[in-house]
Structure 1
Amino acid sequence: MAMDYREKEHAFITIEKDLKGGKVPRVVLLCGSEEYLIEWYAQTLIRRYVSDACRALDLVRLEGDSLTLERIREGLETVSLMSERKVVFLPDFLPAAGKAVRGFPESDCKALAEYLPQVMEGSMLLMCVPDQEEQKPKKNVIRQAVEKCGKVYDFQPLKDKQLHGFIEKRLRASGKNYRPSVVSAIISNSGYGNKAINYSLYNLDNDLKKVIAYSGEEITASDVSAVLSVNPENNVFAMLDAIGRNRKDEALRLLYNLLESGTTVFSLLRMITGQLELILSIKEMKENGMNLTQVQKKLGVHQFRVKKAAAVGGNCSVSYLKNILSEAYQVDEHIKTGLFDGQLALEYFIAKL
């Protein structure tokens, strides 16, 4: 039953199929870097198998001091009479990621791994463990046991098609009309997929609620722009574009807007260097004969960020972009060594180019 869901299909597609087909096993591990999806499907599974009327009896939540091997077994071996399954829920179970936790020694991890194939019909062990590292997970006895007798749903960041589906599902649920271009505008204007800023599906879901609440009977691109125009990433792209067009007055205005909106100097500098690295990489790949589709696949970033970065770097040479990036690195050094005040260093960065 072992399978690497990152390579085959996204975990949310797999779990939706399993829920629809009644194929969710008795032992489940929800993990990965997308905490929103982990929490969403944990609650979905609980609602699916536990009756609301018997939730207090048929849902056993174990964490902290209550998390012991004995209590896990006890919960799983007490069969529900009212719900479809008795669910033992471990919401942040670090041992499933190979991490130590107080009160749950390695010997208990091995004993639990050996016990998992014995989980009886009518019970479910539901384990969750977020992991921000977007890389192949380290093997550990519990995860290996789940792969053999249950199922691991590894929720990694959504790709383009999946992200479209996520957004469209929520727009449809609002009952409002919208055109396909609105979905593209939301992706383009949001910060999802940009590792330089902390923007997850939680942020995207919240922004979608804002767009829906702001709009009338139909959600338009102007509604999206009005709500998401404060996204720092977009203003950084615009600032870099202004620098490339030698519009330093415009670039400085965007810089002040970003600082006044609460964006910190170091956060802003991290976005600037991140965007410049992306723009330079795309420029070099295009000059080596790669098209945007190939570039997007190679870099693993959303196509909208690739298109936006390609547009910003379109009229700039590779040597010019390397020079700007080098200057940005120097700004970081000047601030950290105390040579310049943060805002002054960024102003000097723009004026010097």
Structure 2
Amino acid sequence: MASDFYKEKEHAFITIGRDIKEGNIPSLVLMCGKEEYLIRWYSDVLIKKYVSEACMPIDLVILEGENATVDKIKESLETVSLMSERKVVMLPDFSPVAGKEIKGFGTAEIKELIDYFEMIPEGSMLLITYSEQQETKSKKSKIKTAVEKIGRVYDFQPLKDGQLKSFIEKRFNLAGKTYAASVINLIMSESGYGNKAIEYSLYNLENDLKKIIAHSGNSSEITAADVSDIIAANPENNVFAMLNAIGRNRKDEAFRLLHNLLDAGTPIFNLLRLITNQLELILSVKEMKDEGLKISAIQKTLGVHQFRIKKAMAVTGLYSMNDLKCALCAAYEVDENIKTGLLEGHLALEYFISKI
């Protein structure tokens, strides 16, 4: 779920785009967050902007692992660039940003680096990146706090609906393709982007968009068929369909969908996490819907894409609040039974469907 802070602020890609245009990029930059694609994209943008391609081997210094010592960082920053606008020193995937100590970079070294931040030469830039892959944000580190005061932090979180729509449209436009609004909505709905229970990032989405464009061939238009042929029904959609079938007392259909997921190679615990995730979402949406909240208000509160909320709403009428709570308890019980070895995974999931 997106944090309240994130929902109240403009996305980092808008901020950095404006800063680049206005020439407001300082000598100390930290790019972090969960969307690694955007971190790498804008790191490349800054490097291409400030470092001459001909002088890249000299004016771009990438320090990682045991090479990322305070002394080497200082030495690299204080070496004047050859012909570039700036000398760029990059610390990629620098885990001390998350408060983690690494070999050769403990508490003393972190303090020394922070003390040096204010002494970075005007013609140099220290670019630090760190991708937060955990579901919950790491505790803010001293490095991040210092960068916020002295330089600039760009925290790249997952795209919201409007931003995701623009991301897709931009790639189709660059390919010279036309498309209906329903095609964009289909991609946003079926891709699974924004669901933490599915490992589907902007890297996956861009790859699928390239495949969709290629699939359309010489046609000037991207069609729903192009999308459906490339983006196979993701596990999330099948789980929603399975819960829908259970709610309609169609256990035979639910069992068929379960075995389709298992036969497709969906790992047991991934599938169970999806089931739990969807039940929690349906329960939350039902509670808010019963309170009279509209989709926009529910989306703002839960911080998930509207397409997932609409899918959840379609299922809420099939379950009472008590049914959903019992189903969630059953899912938690299945998880425990599998982990303790009481039941084998496939059997435990079949038992779950038969029980609710």
Q: Same fold (TM over 0.5)?
A: yes
Using the aligned pairs only, state the percent identity. Answer: 63
Give ranges in structure 1 of 5+ residues lacking alignment.
none
| 1:65-84 paired onto structure 2 within 5 Å | 65-84=66-85
Q: Deviations over 1:186-227 (max 9, x none)?
A: 111011121222222222222222222222421122322222
Return the offset for 1:36: 1.4
Partners of 1:351 and 1:138 in 2: CA distance: 42
Give matches, 1:228-239, under 5 Å: 228-239=231-242
**In 2 relative to 1, CA 197–139 (structure 1 residues): closer, same or farther, beyond 3 Å?**
closer
**Contact conserved, 2:86 with 2:123, CA < 8 A, in 1?**
yes
Distance 1:229 1:177 in 2: 22
Match of 2:10 in 1: 9
The letter of the residue matching 1:213 is A
Does the 8 A contact of 2:35 with 2:158 survive in 1? Answer: yes
TM-score, normalising length: structure 1: 0.92
Measured in 1, the distance between the counterparts of 2:100 and 2:339 equals 34
C-alpha separation between the residues in 2 aligned to 1:239 and 1:135?
A: 28
Q: Report how far residue 126 of structure 1 moved.
A: 0.6
Shift of 1:45: 1.1
Confirm or deny that 1:96 pairs with 2:100: no
Q: 1:135 to 1:349 in 2, by over 3 A?
A: closer
User: Is the Cα–Cα contact under 8 Å of residues 134 and 156 in structure 1 kept in the other structure?
Assistant: no
Q: Which of residues 221, 225, 228 is equivalent to 1:225?
A: 228
Please give the residue correspondences for 1:72-221 in structure 2 after superposition, counting only pairs within 5 Å: 72-133=73-134, 138-216=139-217, 217=219, 218-221=221-224
CA distance in 1, matches of 2:324, 2:99: 42
1:318 aligns with 2:330: no
CA drift of 1:21 comes to 1.8
CA shift, 1:16, in A, is: 1.0
In the alignment, the residues of structure 2 paired with residue 35 and residue 16 of structure 1 have an alpha-carbon distance, to the nearest angstrom, of: 17
What do the CA deviations read for 1:249-285 (whole angstroms, capped 9, x no partner)? 2222211111111101221111111111111111121
Q: What code does the residue aligned with 1:177 have? A: T
Q: State whether structure 2 residue 310 is matched by structure 1 residue 307.
A: yes
Are residue 28 (structure 1) and residue 18 (structure 2) matched? Answer: no
Q: 2:333 aligns with which of 327, 330, 334?
A: 330
- Runs of 4+ in structure 1 displaced over 6 angstroms? none
Residue type at the aligned position of 1:28: V
CA–CA distance in structure 2, aligned partners of residues 306 and 19 of structure 1: 36
Q: Choose 98-107 or 132-141, whichever is displaced more.
A: 132-141
Paired position in structure 2 for 1:283: 286
Q: The residue matched to 1:175 in structure 2 has which SS?
A: coil
SS at match of 1:202: helix
Deviation at 1:346, TM superposition (A): 2.0
| 8 A contact 1:176–1:219 mirrored in 2 | yes
User: Retained in 2: the 8 A contact 1:279–1:313?
Assistant: yes
Q: Distance in 1 between matches of 2:74 and 2:25?
A: 20
1:64 counterpart residue number: 65
C-alpha change, 1:110 and 1:14, in structure 2 (3 Å) is same
Quick one: structure 1 residues 243 and 21, their matched pair in 2 at CA, closer, same or farther if it must change by over 3 Å?
same
- Comparing 222-231 with 44-53, which one deviates more in the overlay? 222-231
Please tell me whether the aligned partners of residues 97 and 141 of structure 2 are also in contact (alpha carbons under 8 angstroms): yes
Question: Which TM-score applies when normalising by structure 2?
Answer: 0.92
Q: Secondary structure at the match of 2:318?
A: coil
Structure 2 segments unaligned to the other structure (5+ residues): none
